[in-house]
Chain A
Amino acid sequence: MHHFTRQPQNDDHRLTRLDARVKLLSALALLVMVISCRGVAFPLLVAGVCGGICLSLGVRPRVLALRFAEPLFIAGMVLLLKLFFTGTVPLFSFTIAGWEVVGHRDGLMEGVRIASRIAGAVTVVAAIGFATPFTDLMGALAWLRVPKGFIEVALFAWRYLFVLLDDAQVVYAAQKNRLGYAGYRRGLRSFGTLAGALVIKAFDNSQNITTAMVQRGYDGTMPLLRHKPFRCGEVMVALLVVVGMGFIWSL
């Protein structure tokens, strides 16, 4: 699960240095275009461009494949579901164990449309995820007036996610070495113990964190990132890209 910890992949990349607010707004605009698109070409174009950006950021193809495995599997399943279970115009048919299975042309088209939308949307979010540190993204969300409480909880979660993850891995390894996952019943009991142990650790850690933070002046609110002013060049380039993509989308 640690394949998402190395963010960003390439600190020197131009996209990594770009203001997080500009990146987030551009990505959201692209995302809206992709999910409101009625064709196939535009989402696939976005998927190609953003996939290329991920690779240029230095993301290894294996990590990219891992990241995309689940959504692409889902895209494939949607395609099959729409092909065989929806539509009215038969495209082909075959028989399995006396059952006639019919693929529909309109179902296939609809399935391809949704699958391309998934591919496009997933690559947009992956690109911004690889190119922006989490804290910068949270700063950008705060600038977009997302409530402070939400941002603070997200920052706490992100900060202590890896601490708890390490704890979970230690407990899991210890359980596994003692055959704690041999058989479903034992596995389930071990999993329950592991999850319970994590909750106890979360409680204890939260008390320790609060004590440490209060000693450093914590009064219930956390100072968030202060943003530098927008750089004109960055905004202009982002606007050009979004307007250009918008033009292609409208075609």
Chain B
Amino acid sequence: MLWANPMVTYNKRKRFSSVALWLCGGLLLFGSTPAYAMHIAEGILPFPWAALWFAVAVPFVALGIKRLNMLAKDDLSFKPLVGLMAAVVFIISCMPIPVPTAGTCSHPCGTGIAAILVGPFVSVLISGVALLIQALFLAHGGLSTWGADVVSMGVVGSFTGWFVFRGLRTLGASLGVAGFFAGLLADWATYATTSVELASGIRGSEPFLPLFWKILLAFIPTQLPLGLLEGAMTAGMVVLLYRKRPDLLVKMRVITEKEMTAHV
């Protein structure tokens, strides 16, 4: 039966996606914001703002390094693990996710899952490293906007994800639900912070608030669904780890040994 052939269904979907992509391309062109990508591009922020965000980011990165050195004293594998997690965050934040409402692809930040696994301070360090490599070799973000990107994606994203996950787990939520809301709110918090940074950086002599609302509203067509997708992705990852390798979650103190025994 022809209609049951999955390849035919797939091709129809692909054609539909192409039409939707073209239709929404115009919407994206006129409805998107300057920070179409996750990171604020090199050179957008003037020097005083770039320096200010750098000064805000540095203490958090320093605390992340301190925490890393402390943990690495007990477990020699922790530094290589954090390096590899930085590589994972780099790869995740380079992977396109289709955003249906905008007819385009955007990418998740991955700091929610990093914060859940290694804690918020080390997650800030991980995002700092991933952002540095992306700035140098992919022109995603930049050296001058590194501080602002670390604050939005690393500090705000990681702490939001971590607090939401821990808070919901304390209230008795399942791993999947807690992971979903951690990913969702980490993503949205990142974009809200990015809007603040952009509005303050490019406003010139204009008032701050109107431009901030314009940028925030313009993010909604892409970031509202992307946040949901990132939430689902984070939940999927946590659940996959729980099913396949609960020992890793115990090692990272995400679940207790009792919970692992219950799973087995």
Contact = CB atoms under 8 A, between A and B. Distances in A.
A128 B137 CA distance: 9
A170 interface: no
B36 interface: yes
Nearest to A130: B137
A74 B34 contact: yes
A168 B235 CA distance: 19
Interface stretch (B163-171, B185-193, B241-249): B241-249
B245 A189 contact: no
A143 interface: no
Interface in A176-193: 179, 182-184, 187-189, 191-193
Contacts of A85: 211, 214
A150 B86 CA distance: 11
A35 B235 CA distance: 40
B204 A149 contact: no
Contacts of B244: 196, 200
A28 B144 CA distance: 9
B2 interface: no
Contacts of B94: 1
A74 B44 contact: yes
B240 A218 contact: no
B84 A191 contact: no
A114 B143 CA distance: 16
Contact of A210 (B32, B43, B80): B80
Interface in B144-171: 144
A143 to B, nearest CB: 16
B144 A31 contact: yes
For chain B, which range describes its interface: under 10, 10 to 19, 20 to 34, or 35 or more residues? 35 or more
A86 B80 contact: no
B76 A210 contact: yes
B245 to A, nearest CB: 6
Contacts of A125: 42, 135-136, 139, 142-143
Contacts of B24: none
Contacts of B135: 125
B233 A191 contact: yes
A205 B132 contact: no
Interface string A98-132: 00000000000010001001111110011011000
Interface string B67-86: 01100110011011111111
Interface in B10-29: 10, 13
B84 A156 contact: yes
Q: Is the interface of B mostly helix, strand, loop or mixed?
A: helix
A223 interface: no
B62 interface: yes
A56 interface: no
A160 B139 contact: no
Interface stretch (A63-71, A225-233, A235-243): A63-71
Contact of B46 (A35, A81, A200): A35
B90 to A, nearest CB: 6
Contact of A161 (B72, B90, B240): B90
Contacts of A120: 43
A32 interface: yes
Contacts of B248: 199-200, 203
Interface centre among A156, A184, A199 (most CB of B within 10 A): A199
A168 B129 CA distance: 20
Contacts of B214: 81, 85
Interface string A72-101: 011101101110011000000000000000
B236 A156 contact: no
Contacts of B33: 77, 81
Contacts of A28: 143
Nearest to A122: B42
A128 B46 CA distance: 21
B10 A179 contact: yes
10 contacts: A43-B43, A85-B211, A117-B44, A157-B90, A182-B9, A184-B98, A188-B97, A195-B236, A199-B248, A209-B80
Interface of B: 6-7, 9-10, 13, 30, 32-37, 41-47, 50, 61-62, 65, 68-69, 72-73, 76-77, 79-88, 90-92, 94-95, 97-98, 100, 110, 113, 117, 125-126, 128-130, 132-133, 135-140, 142-144, 202-204, 206, 211, 214, 229, 232-233, 235-237, 240-241, 244-245, 248
Given A77-B34, A182-B6, A191-B236, 18 more contacts: A35-B45, A70-B41, A74-B44, A77-B32, A78-B34, A118-B43, A125-B42, A129-B137, A154-B86, A159-B83, A192-B236, A195-B233, A200-B240, A202-B81, A203-B248, A210-B77, A214-B76, A218-B76
